Structure 1
Amino acid sequence: MRDHPYVAQPGYAKWSKAVTRARISDVDPVVQGRFLVGVDDKVVTAGSCFAQHIARRLSASGFNFHVTEKPHPLIAPEIAETYNFGVFSARYGNVYTSRQLLELLLRAQGSFEPLESHWLDDAGKFYDPYRPAVHPGGFASLEELMQDRDQHLRATLRAFEEMDVFIFTLGLTEGWISLADGANFPSCPGVIAGEYDPDRYQFINLSVEQVVSDVLEFIRNVRSFNPTFRMILTVSPVPLAATATDQHVLTATSYSKAVLRVAAELISATDPERIAYFPSYEIITGNFSRGAYYAADLRNVLESGVDHVMKLFFRHYTSADVEGPNNLNNTLPSVHELDQMNKLVRVQCEEAMLDAGL
């Protein structure tokens, strides 16, 4: 037998052993975590729709999901949930792009105040352009919106100041900005509220270099006042609901996820002791599952997929004896099981509205 570098490679480095002959529930692309998250560590989450699953599971498993923007104690839990309290650490809604994340920090610090203050809907209600889906039905007045935003940004900065671990899920490269000052929006104007005007708004599609630059600037900024925080990057496995490019949505999705995956690798390589990439994207999209982790729309992630992701997160990134619900199996779900699992997929997602009714 000839000697070459691949002979001594471990089983996880070889497709036949790590994927082909492995049970679905045993596929583990993490290999080894870079650091451990303690049950008392203050964990702050942000990102795309998929990040909501991570936040929900951390909280349910007894970890310190750190929430700094909380509802009034007299508000009923179901109403608080409707108004997006506790979905993320603060009510910033989905932060789809790296540019949104950086601007969120700058706005919370008071070093950037976008010129566009509000959007209106057909009923004359006021919406926050930078989190338009957070307050369903809109605000009654601009004054109410501004007061809520001020409180929100203070809570956001406090979350960044106090966090021990920050989990950020990179979701999209496509976005919309204001031509007046470059401010980024989580949703195209006109989808939820506001009016689309090509003379006021511009479509952008971030490159690897731009994503890396945005996130590294965010890290440097936070480290100036919170020098010890650690960061876990993930890439959302949820495909684009729609693309504003002149491409098929499949190829547009492939570009977006490839950019984010490469960017995450480059960012994590800058500080291997304090920045990690967690492969939730590979766990959900890997062909070993034959697509079984996706709902009937082939876009939303089922609870069984979240189970697999979180089982490996707890195994490699915590010392706690938490494996998550053990409902992973090695066969494809039946139609009835798919219908039941579809009912469990409950995430707030502005991006999904791009495809609504079209």
Structure 2
Amino acid sequence: MRNIRLNTPVELPKSNFGVSYHNRLLSLGSCFSSNIAEYLKLLRFHIVYNPFGPLYNPISIARCLDRLQSGQPFGAQELFYFGGLYHSELHHGSFSKTTIEETINVINTSLEEARNMYEQCDRLIVTFGTSRVYRQISTGIVVGNCHKQPQSLFSQEDLPLDDMCSEWGNLLTKIMEDKPHLKVILTVSPIRHLGDGLVANARSKSKLLLLCDYLAGLCPSRIEYFPSFEIMMDELRDYRYYAQDMKHPSDLAIEIICQRFLNQYINEETFLIFREVEAYNKLKSHRIMHEGSEEAQKHLSEIEARAHCLKKKYPFLCL
């Protein structure tokens, strides 16, 4: 009898360094980096992610890391006014506010929190989204976010692979010299940039895969590649695993990829703690119909007792 398989599983070698609850994690990059980080945060890992909002191209992500290294606060001169709001071209629209003071405050508060984690972090997760960029014509700067300004203000281009390798090779070399305990996990977002067209999207992702391969080769004991893109494209090769926009992975696909991430990066000890955290989360998510009832009070007491037990047993958990 034939052994019939309905997919082609991606083989995942066990990590050289792994991820545990003792680690401090920083995740940067596309919105898929937020997906991974939110999953890890729910499982009570110590993680800060996307302090500038999602960034998709390697140049803007590199600038984000540079800013975290220096810790230099943002100033009013780095903002511009458009559509009734003050924006930063390196930040997501959620940071844009109606006054300069409010915008600077929310940007620098996020920067300070991420800077504190950067100082502590020993695991850095970077997710590249696209090698296609928008360059501001007046300044020549590659922007992280256009904020729906007229397209005539920007030129669109594909970043050369050599430029990306040089920029990131120098950056990671410097960071790892400054932080000798840091380990880096690179991945390419499986989210398809259909606005660029399928051919351009494929070329863009190909260059990002080559970039990750080059960087992982610089220091294999400290830099690794996690194949989220390959898991989506090959192992989950079915439109049932996409959201309705046919670009983003569905919630199920994200959960599968995140589980594969844990399979590659956590050891048996961490896995056992993870199971206890899962049980706690399940208890906490249980819905109570009548909040003031005796059953509700009993449930809240049980949650509190379980949290106290976990804190005592595993004081390093982010509860």
Q: Match of 2:165, as an amino acid?
A: V
Structure 2 counterpart SS, 1:119: strand
Aligned-residue offset at 1:295: 1.9
- Are the equivalent residues in 1 in contact too, given 2:86–2:98 (CA < 8 A)? yes
Choose which of 292, 312, 316 in structure 1 pairs with 2:260.
312
> For residue 239 of structure 1, what is the aligned residue in structure 2?
192
Alignment deviations for residues 269-311 of structure 1 (CA, whole Å, 9 cap, x no partner): 1111110000111111116633332123221101221222122
If each structure's strand is expressed as a fraction of its own residues, which one has the higher value?
2
- Are the equivalent residues in 1 in contact too, given 2:35–2:254 (CA < 8 A)? yes
Which whole-Å CA distance do the structure 2 matches of 1:253 and 1:277 have between them?
A: 20
> For residue 250 of structure 2, what is the aligned residue in structure 1?
302
Q: For the structure 1 residues 152 and 295, does the alpha-carbon distance in structure 2 shift closer, same or farther, using more than 3 Å as the test?
A: closer
Q: Match of 1:266, as an amino acid?
A: Y
Q: Establish whether residue 61 from structure 1 lines up as the match of residue 51 from structure 2.
A: no
Structure 2 counterpart SS, 1:242: helix
Q: Establish whether residue 257 from structure 1 lines up as the match of residue 218 from structure 2.
A: no
Which whole-Å CA distance do the structure 2 matches of 1:47 and 1:127 have between them?
A: 19
Q: Establish whether residue 164 from structure 1 lines up as the match of residue 125 from structure 2.
A: no
Structure 1 counterpart SS, 2:45: coil
- Are the equivalent residues in 2 in contact too, given 1:45–1:51 (CA < 8 A)? yes
Which whole-Å CA distance do the structure 2 matches of 1:116 and 1:174 have between them?
A: 27
Taking structure 2 as the reference length, the TM-score comes to 0.75
Structure 1 counterpart SS, 2:195: coil
Taking structure 1 as the reference length, the TM-score comes to 0.68
> For residue 52 of structure 2, what is the aligned residue in structure 1?
92
Show the 5 A alignment for 1:1-358: 21-22=4-5, 24=7, 27-65=9-47, 67=48, 88=49, 91-108=51-68, 109=70, 117-122=78-83, 124-135=84-95, 138-188=96-146, 191=148, 194-198=149-153, 201-243=154-196, 249-286=197-234, 289-319=237-267, 320-321=270-271, 322=274
Which whole-Å CA distance do the structure 2 matches of 1:114 and 1:276 have between them?
A: 35
Which whole-Å CA distance do the structure 2 matches of 1:39 and 1:309 have between them?
A: 19
Which whole-Å CA distance do the structure 1 matches of 2:46 and 2:6 have between them?
A: 32
Which whole-Å CA distance do the structure 2 matches of 1:60 and 1:306 have between them?
A: 14
Unaligned runs of 5+ in 1: 1-16, 68-87, 244-248, 326-358
Which whole-Å CA distance do the structure 1 matches of 2:195 and 2:204 have between them?
A: 12
If each structure's helix is expressed as a fraction of its own residues, which one has the higher value?
2
Which whole-Å CA distance do the structure 2 matches of 1:155 and 1:224 have between them?
A: 23
Aligned-residue offset at 1:257: 0.6
Which whole-Å CA distance do the structure 2 matches of 1:44 and 1:107 have between them?
A: 14
Q: Match of 1:106, as an amino acid?
A: D
- Are the equivalent residues in 1 in contact too, given 2:133–2:156 (CA < 8 A)? yes
Q: Match of 1:118, as an amino acid?
A: L
| Percentage of identical aligned residues | 21
Q: For the structure 1 residues 281 and 21, does the alpha-carbon distance in structure 2 shift closer, same or farther, using more than 3 Å as the test?
A: farther
> For residue 7 of structure 1, what is the aligned residue in structure 2?
none
- Are the equivalent residues in 1 in contact too, given 2:24–2:120 (CA < 8 A)? yes
Which whole-Å CA distance do the structure 1 matches of 2:73 and 2:195 have between them?
A: 30
Q: Match of 1:55, as an amino acid?
A: A
Aligned-residue offset at 1:23: 5.3
- Are the equivalent residues in 2 in contact too, given 1:234–1:281 (CA < 8 A)? yes
Aligned-residue offset at 1:134: 2.4
Q: For the structure 1 residues 210 and 129, does the alpha-carbon distance in structure 2 shift closer, same or farther, using more than 3 Å as the test?
A: same
Structure 2 counterpart SS, 1:286: helix
Which whole-Å CA distance do the structure 1 matches of 2:43 and 2:81 have between them?
A: 40
Q: Match of 2:101, as an amino acid?
A: E
Structure 2 counterpart SS, 1:105: helix
Which whole-Å CA distance do the structure 2 matches of 1:184 and 1:111 have between them?
A: 20
Which whole-Å CA distance do the structure 2 matches of 1:279 and 1:181 have between them?
A: 36
Unaligned runs of 5+ in 2: 279-319
Structure 2 counterpart SS, 1:134: helix
Aligned-residue offset at 1:115: 9.9
Which whole-Å CA distance do the structure 1 matches of 2:97 and 2:71 have between them?
A: 23
Aligned-residue offset at 1:181: 4.6
Q: How many residues align?
A: 271
Q: Match of 1:286, as an amino acid?
A: D
Structure 2 counterpart SS, 1:39: coil
Which whole-Å CA distance do the structure 2 matches of 1:117 and 1:240 have between them?
A: 28
Aligned-residue offset at 1:37: 0.8
